[in-house]
Amino acid sequence: MNKFTLAPVRRTPLAAALLAALFIGGCSMPTPHSLLPKAPVPAQWPNAAGAPAAASQTALPAAALPDWQSYFQDADLAALIRTALDNNRDVRIAAGTLAQARAQLGVRTADELPTVNLGAGASRAPNAFGAMSTLFNTGLSVTAYEFDFFGRVASLKEQALAQYLASQEASRTAQISLISMVAQSWLALQTDEALLASTRQLVVSRERTLQLVQLRHQQGVASDIELQQNRALLQSVRVALGPLQRQRMLDENTLVLLLGQDIPAAQKRALGGSALNPNSMAELAPGIPSEVLTQRADIRQAEHLLKAADANIQAARSAFFPRIALTAGVGSASSELSSLFSSGSWVFSVAPQLLLPLFDHGRNDANLAAAQAARAVAVAQYEKAIQSAFREVSDALSQRSGWQAQREAQQAQHAADQARLELVQLKLAHGAASALDVLEAERSVLADQQALVLVQSALLQNQIALYKALGGGLAPAP
């Protein structure tokens, strides 16, 4: 360790020393920019069976995704999303983490400038003649300000900035996930209500059928087997109500947790009469993978974490170079308190310090190795984030074409059963069919409605998943 100290000099102003420190500190080595690895995904999405080719897609590209207020047209859902964004605890945790990262960035920014303190003190010690003397002093001081020749302080600030930006993207990711989960939970509740309503209609239909069979049994037309069979069918439909009611309670509890409060009364009233609207969301096209990389907050978060790892490596490398610090002060000193601010009592001191690591028993080498290992982890996490995003979009696209085809087939079946019901009702009016035939046709129509509700719900859930996978929900961060 080399250390040298200059004796107090009265005529050199502190401002000149501070300006020199700022100038020298500004001449530090710059932190190198991160080189992002190539995205480990194909250049185009895999085309699902029946899906249009990428060249023929004319809907919104990923870069033009609407925000959630424009994408979700349901006013009740929009109100629930706003409530969740205000009250959800996960969003509050993410906001708190962001505030911590912002404060840490402020600390690292302050490290680039000298800290000036105002102090006063008194000391008592024997003088050259052995008598006790008292010395009073006061003034401004700068303690251990580091000249950032080799970029250590700048690298630490760069790391803090990258961590802050990563926390910002993490907060956006939490909000986007919350928006999609609220939309999915509200859709699940609507589906539960629709299934419960159609199942209750089936119960009524089975009860009417059983009454007719009981009358026929009393008249000796229906057998005991037919009677018991219809009783069993009625009970089977009543049994189906139980799981549906339990599922509805679970979905409501999930939505309450996401909202951070109970479901508002207005939305509870609207839930009973709400229906699945197949046109409640905008049509989306996936664009190309490079657009998704600029849209998804979790990928930008991984990118910032990679930059933070690079800055940390640069800071670890700077530890191998000498560290120069300055301690300086200007003020007054006197043996008499009453003469502390008298003319001639002003003093100035400067004490530069040079520290060169010689024997640290491998500490700096270990810190550099740890920083390099952390960067390798950050690279893998960045590539995994890209691969996960690619898979989520690909899965949503693959499922979308299948659900669309199933919905068309289910709609065709429902139309056929509805036409059969109308024909049976017409035959009943002319005495060519019985009431039992009409009830059986009605049950087929109700069963088709239930199946159509499930398919339509799955398709809407798929649209929400695709919107989230493409990075939709919030406007991109600047």
> What is 257-302 written as a DSSP string?
HHHTSPPPHHHHHHHHH----TTSB--B----HHHHHHH-HHHHHH
Q: Each residue of 113-151: pLDDT tens digit?
A: 888 888 887 787 787 777 777 777 787 888 877 887 888
Report the C-alpha gap between 231 and 207 in whole angstroms. 9
Of 356, 379, 401, the residue that ends a domain is: 356
Counted domains in the chain: 2
Provide the domain limits for residue 393: 39-112+149-182+263-321+363-469
DSSP, collapsed to helix, strand or coil, labels residue 12 as coil
Are the C-beta atoms of residues 293 and 63 closer than 8 Å to each other? Answer: no
Q: Are residues 464 and 379 in the same domain?
A: yes
What CATH number is associated with residue 19? 2.20.200.10
Half-sphere exposure of 363 (CA within 13 A, CB side): 6
Residue 284 confidence (pLDDT) above 60: yes
What sign does the dihedral 13-16-20-22 (CA atoms) show?
positive
Nearest to 345 by CA among 337, 336, 334: 334
Same-domain pairing of 47 and 134: no
| pLDDT for the residue 70 | 85
Region 367-379: what's the mean pLDDT?
Answer: 91
Give yes or no: residues 69 and 127 share one domain: no
Which of 306, 339, 356 marks a domain boundary?
A: 356
pLDDT digits (tens, 9 = 90+) for 243-273: 999 999 999 999 999 999 999 988 888 887 6
Indicate whether 308 and 389 sit together in one domain: yes
The string of pLDDT tens digits covering residues 188-242 is 999 999 899 888 888 888 888 888 888 888 888 878 888 888 888 888 888 989 9
Judge whether residue 443 has pLDDT over 90: no
Same domain, 307 and 375: yes
When pLDDT is averaged across residues 278-292 and rounded to a whole number, the result is: 71
User: How much of the chain, in percent, has pLDDT values that exceed 90?
Assistant: 21
Is 240 a domain residue?
A: no
pLDDT of residue 477 exceeding 50:
yes
For residues 298 and 285, what is the distance between their CA atoms, to the nearest angstrom?
20
Same domain, 178 and 95: yes
pLDDT tens for each residue of 8-28 = 334 444 444 444 444 444 444
- pLDDT (mean) for 41-62: 52
Q: Sign of dihedral through CA atoms 316, 321, 327, 328?
A: negative
**Does the pLDDT value for residue 402 go beyond 80?**
yes
Global pTM? Answer: 0.78
The CATH number covering residue 154 comes to 1.20.1600.10
Which letter, b or e, does each residue of 314-335 get, where b requires 16 or more Cβ atoms within 10 Å of its Cβ?
A: bbbbbbeeebbbbebbbbbbbe
Contact (CB, 8 A) for 440 and 420? no
The last residue of a domain, from among 303, 336, 356: 356
Q: What is the pLDDT of residue 119?
A: 81
